[in-house]
């Protein structure tokens, strides 16, 4: 465990985890005490506050005002200024209260797929930009949220990885993305209900474990989303997967595999050098036994890199014992990496080969590719989301 902890610390950028003194440990990572919900360089705001902090904010008010405000934020998805059940003076005070200010500033909103896909680009305190994508399907609405501004994991094919790490998102910054999506669903024509959340936006969720977990608890307890409808996607942070296996809320797990032998995976996904396939699969087995949930493998098909018959056979050898479902995604080409997606025939052949080896696979169509994706991952994320939520 000690080895795993220092390994993950080594992977993270300076300042991404706590410095000296007063640490609590969480998911194999060290965090500065008392900052479980706040990002180090982001002020805790509206959806960062817990109930005790909201109570403190309303210390001069009758107790029931706390419930009214909490209900307003989480059930009504309202701005403090919209809470007409509060006395006007209090409403005015709360709508200018810095601690209740939103942490996401809308930079742009883009609609595509005849209104079925929406992308928001947000600016955060400090100037970092992150995006959120909401996708409507006949039977559900799924939001894909970012967990970090940038990412330290350095996967070469990924635009976020190419950009490097800026900072963790706070619990409130993650929750607020979901609230924005839920609000958009509720006010849509016709109104809909947000049903699913995938942690598949910018960043590596399990490298920001405490804040991501804080968001998961908030989404479950206060926004009323079922744990079965929340899915975390990871590139393979083994201590984080092991930590998920110990949690009472059985959220879904998608592992971005992309390669089924260490030589290739070391090249595509640098984190593999820390936690090679054998240790990753061991953690996946532990997670599966603990949660009883179905695991997904994500596989971005890259022309002549990971799309051969032997790649399919090796992938099947890992997937079969785990009963894992494979999501095949044509690579979304990025400026920083000179490869292209496997052509459609090759994708079909790869899927057939997996089926012949007894593995279920789904090819994901690219939804929303006509949106200019700030992080360059939109196609992949929108493409994979449906499979991640289909239990
Ligand atoms: N860091 C997490 C979650 C965010 S990335 C993870 O890696 O799982 C979300 C998904 O997009 C991952 O499956 C990732 O491998 C995939 N992805 C990133 N860049 C891509 C690209 N250029 N084309 C296709 N999929 C990509
Ligand atoms: Fe980070 Fe995921 Fe992109 Fe890899 S694929 S760089 S882990 S966001």
Q: Partners of 122 in the beta sheet?
A: 106, 130
For residues 217 and 18, the model is more confident at 217
DSSP codes, 282-324: HHHHHHHHHH-PPEEEEEEEBTTTS-SHHHHHHHHHHHHHHT-
Atom 9 of ligand 1: nearest residue by CA position: 200
**Chosen domain end from 40, 66, 100:** 100
Any domain includes 31? no
Q: 131 catalytic, yes or no?
A: yes
Does residue 29 carry a pLDDT above 60?
no
Question: Do 71 and 140 lie in a common domain?
Answer: no
Question: Do 138 and 168 lie in a common domain?
Answer: yes
For residues 3 and 64, the model is more confident at 64
Q: Partners of 297 in the beta sheet?
A: 255, 326
Question: Do 250 and 372 lie in a common domain?
Answer: yes
Left, alpha or beta for 70 (phi > 0: left; psi -120 to 50: alpha)?
Answer: alpha
Question: Do 70 and 108 lie in a common domain?
Answer: no
Question: Do 108 and 251 lie in a common domain?
Answer: yes
Residue among 8, 145, 151, 163 to mutate when testing ligand 2 (max atoms within 8 A of CB): 151
pLDDT confidence of residue 384: 37
**Chosen domain end from 100, 131, 161:** 100
Atom 3 of ligand 1: nearest residue by CA position: 200
pLDDT-derived band at 389 (thresholds 50, 70, 90) equals very low
Any domain includes 32? no
Does residue 218 carry a pLDDT above 70?
yes
Question: Do 71 and 193 lie in a common domain?
Answer: no
pLDDT confidence of residue 82: 96
Q: Which ligand is nearest to the CA of 332?
A: 1
Any domain includes 347? yes
Region of poorest pLDDT, from 43-47, 146-150, 160-164: 43-47
pLDDT per position as a tens digit, 118-140: 999 999 999 999 999 999 999 99
Taking the C-alpha atoms of residue 203 and residue 167, their distance in angstroms, rounded to an integer, is 9
pLDDT confidence of residue 262: 98
Question: Do 166 and 236 lie in a common domain?
Answer: yes
Does residue 388 carry a pLDDT above 50?
no
Atom 18 of ligand 1: nearest residue by CA position: 158
pLDDT confidence of residue 365: 66
Atom 12 of ligand 1: nearest residue by CA position: 256
The CATH number given to whatever domain includes residue 74 is 1.10.150
Are 178 and 143 in contact by the 8 Å Cβ rule? The answer is yes
Any domain includes 322? yes
Q: How many domains does the chain have?
A: 2
pLDDT confidence of residue 31: 38
pLDDT confidence of residue 28: 35
Does residue 357 carry a pLDDT above 60?
yes
Taking the C-alpha atoms of residue 174 and residue 40, their distance in angstroms, rounded to an integer, is 15
Question: Do 96 and 193 lie in a common domain?
Answer: no
Question: Do 338 and 310 lie in a common domain?
Answer: yes
Question: Do 183 and 285 lie in a common domain?
Answer: yes
* pTM greater than the 0.85 cutoff: yes
Any domain includes 181? yes
The CATH number given to whatever domain includes residue 211 is 3.20.20.70
pLDDT per position as a tens digit, 53-62: 999 999 999 9
Give Cα separations from 66 to 50, 94, 283, 354 (angstroms).
Answer: 11, 12, 42, 54
Q: How far is the CA of 375 from the centre of ligand 2 (A)?
A: 11
The boundaries of the domain holding residue 96 are 51-100
Question: Do 219 and 343 lie in a common domain?
Answer: yes
Question: Do 325 and 336 lie in a common domain?
Answer: yes
Any domain includes 15? no
Q: How far is the CA of 154 from the centre of ligand 2 (A)?
A: 7
In the block, residue with structure tokens 């080896």: 357
Q: 284 catalytic, yes or no?
A: no
């Amino acid at each position: 465990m000690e080895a795993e902890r220092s390994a993950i610390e080594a992977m993270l950028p300076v300042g991404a985890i706590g410095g000296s003194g007063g640490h609590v440990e969480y998911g194999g990572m060290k965090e500065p005490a008392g900052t479980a919900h706040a990002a180090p360089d982001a002020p805790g705001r509206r959806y960062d506050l817990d109930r005790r902090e909201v109570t403190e904010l309303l210390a001069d008010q009758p107790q029931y005002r706390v419930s009214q405000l909490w209900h307003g934020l989480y059930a009504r998805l309202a701005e403090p200024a919209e809470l007409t059940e509060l006395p006007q003076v209090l409403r005015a005070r709360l709508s200018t209260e810095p601690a209740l200010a939103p942490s996401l500033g809308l930079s742009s909103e883009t609609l595509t797929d005849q209104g079925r896909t929406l992308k928001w680009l947000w600016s955060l305190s400090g100037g970092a930009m992150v995006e959120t994508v909401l996708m409507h399907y006949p039977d559900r609405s799924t939001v894909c949220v970012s967990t970090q501004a940038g990412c330290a994991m350095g996967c070469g094919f990924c635009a976020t990885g190419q950009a490097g790490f800026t900072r963790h998102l706070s619990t409130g910054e993650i929750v607020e993305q979901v609230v924005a999506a839920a609000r958009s669903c509720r006010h849509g024509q016709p109104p809909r209900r947000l049903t699913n959340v995938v942690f598949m936006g910018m960043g590596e969720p399990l490298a920001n474990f405490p804040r991501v977990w804080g968001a998961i608890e908030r989404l479950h307890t206060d926004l009323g989303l079922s744990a079965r409808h929340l899915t975390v996607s990871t590139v393979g942070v083994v201590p984080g997967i092991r930590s998920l296996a110990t949690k009472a809320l059985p959220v879904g797990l998608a592992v971005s595999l992309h390669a089924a032998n260490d030589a290739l995976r070391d090249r595509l996904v640098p984190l593999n050098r820390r936690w090679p396939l054998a240790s990753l699969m061991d953690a996946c087995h532990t997670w599966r036994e603990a949660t009883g949930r179905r695991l997904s493998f994500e596989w971005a098909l890259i022309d002549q890199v990971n799309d051969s018959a032997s790649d399919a056979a090796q992938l099947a050898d890992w997937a079969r014992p785990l009963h894992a479902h494979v999501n095949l995604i044509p690579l979304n080409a990025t400026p920083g990496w000179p490869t292209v997606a496997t052509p459609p025939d090759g994708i079909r052949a790869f899927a057939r080969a997996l089926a012949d080896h007894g593995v279920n696979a789904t090819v994901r169509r690219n939804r929303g590719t006509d949106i200019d994706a700030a992080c360059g991952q939109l196609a992949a994320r929108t493409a994979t989301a449906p499979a991640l939520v289909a239990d």
